[in-house]
């Protein structure tokens, strides 16, 4: 269960199966008159193995939160615990090691390396991982066993995004963070990509965050965090997770 927690909480106890726990997380871009308050105090708890959807309008601070949780960016204030480690106090090297060991990312624009094939794009990550899947296995998990040696330019957008998912999960990360993974895709392709994410979450039990501004997608989540103007303005738990194939938009 992820809820707006009591103001003063310590690190999440392992007993609760909590992966992330944030308290009063803020992020300010710039300073002075031009300062943008992207996060205005976010408190959340994320349980291990769950599928969490961050839903909110564009510019509401979803990416900012995800980037901080993923160790790509640093908060301006507050706390963000990953298990019992506060990411807010970590230096660059520590964040690098954290990302390397525990986080898988999927981005809206895939960000594959053009000069590497699908398999090689995945290997790029498995090479530096501790207990990786075989790249081919990871690609099979997202239904791309027939596209192993294709270059990104030879793949459709949906296929590229699935390669990106395979790349993200191949190292068996503790968390999978997906920032608008379907944002650049049509609905049918989008469903296939979501199905791949759903599959990974169910099969590997990877705690998964999916950012979207598409309310329909929220139905595939265990937990939905509603975002608005730099804050969590509401949460919702789905009694049943819909399979991505059942979604339509």
Ligand X SMILES: Nc1ncnc2c1ncn2[C@@H]1O[C@H](COP(=O)(O)OP(=O)(O)O)[C@@H](O)[C@H]1O
Distance of CA 8 to the CA centre of its chain: 26
Q: Which does 244 bind (CB under 5 to 8 A by kind): another protein, ligand X, Mg ion, none?
A: none
d(CA 167, CA 169): 6
* 233 counts as binding ligand X under rule CB under 6 A: no
Shortest distance in whole angstroms from residue 130 CB to another protein = 11
Binding residue for another protein, selected from 96, 186, 205, 236, defined by CB under 8 A: 96
* 125 counts as binding another protein under rule CB under 8 A: yes
Which stretch in 52-60, 84-92, 196-204, 240-248 sits in contact with ligand X by CB under 6 A?
A: 52-60
- Of the chain, the end-to-end C-alpha distance in Å amounts to 28
Closer residue to ligand X in complex, CB, 58/188: 58
Binding residue for another protein, selected from 8, 32, 114, 239, defined by CB under 8 A: 114
d(CA 141, CA 146): 12
Binding residue for ligand X, selected from 29, 94, 156, 186, defined by CB under 6 A: 29
d(CA 199, CA 137): 13
**DSSP characters for 73-125?**
S--SEEEEEETTEEGGG--HHHHHHHHHHHEEEE-TT----TTS-HHHHHHHH
Interface positions, 57-116, toward ligand X (CB under 6 A): 58-64
Q: Which does 96 bind (CB under 5 to 8 A by kind): another protein, Mg ion, ligand X, none?
A: another protein
Tokens representing 45? Answer: 């708890």
Q: How far is CA 226 from CA 54, 93, 139, 212, in A?
A: 6, 32, 32, 10
* 101 counts as binding another protein under rule CB under 8 A: yes
Closer residue to another protein in complex, CB, 120/137: 120
CB atoms within 10 A of CB 223: 23
Which stretch in 54-62, 78-86, 102-110, 164-172 sits in contact with ligand X by CB under 6 A?
A: 54-62
Closer residue to Mg ion in complex, CB, 109/237: 109
Which strands, in side-by-side order, build the sheet including 77-82? 36-47, 18-29, 77-82, 85-86
Interface positions, 20-59, toward another protein (CB under 8 A): none
* 120 counts as binding another protein under rule CB under 8 A: yes
Shortest distance in whole angstroms from residue 222 CB to another protein = 25
Binding site for ligand X (CB under 6 A): 29-30, 36, 38, 56, 58-64
């Amino acid at each position: 269960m992820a809820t707006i927690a009591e103001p003063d909480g310590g690190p999440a106890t392992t007993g609760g199966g909590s992966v992330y726990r944030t308290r009063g997380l803020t992020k300010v871009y710039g300073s002075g008159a031009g300062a943008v308050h992207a996060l205005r105090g976010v408190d959340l708890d994320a349980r291990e193995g769950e599928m969490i959807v961050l839903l909110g309008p564009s510019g509401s601070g979803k990416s900012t939160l995800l980037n901080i949780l993923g160790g790509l960016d640093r908060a301006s204030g507050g706390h963000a615990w990953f298990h019992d480690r506060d990411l807010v106090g970590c230096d660059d090297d520590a964040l690098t090691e954290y990302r390397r060991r525990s986080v898988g990312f999927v981005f809206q624009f895939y960000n594959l390396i053009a000069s590497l094939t699908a398999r090689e794009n995945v290997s790029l990550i498995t090479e530096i991982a501790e207990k990786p899947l075989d790249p081919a296995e990871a690609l099979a998990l997202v239904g791309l066993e027939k596209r192993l040696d294709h270059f990104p330019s030879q793949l459709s957008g949906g296929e590229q995004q699935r390669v990106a998912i395979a790349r993200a999960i191949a190292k068996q990360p503790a968390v999978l963070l997906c920032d608008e993974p379907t944002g650049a895709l049509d609905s049918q392709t989008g469903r296939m990509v979501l199905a791949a994410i759903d599959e990974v979450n169910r099969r590997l039990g990877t705690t998964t965050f999916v950012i979207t501004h598409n309310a329909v997608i929220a139905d595939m989540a265990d937990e939905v965090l509603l975002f608005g103007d730099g804050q969590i303005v509401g949460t919702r738990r789905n009694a049943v997770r819909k399979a991505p194939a059942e979604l339509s938009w």
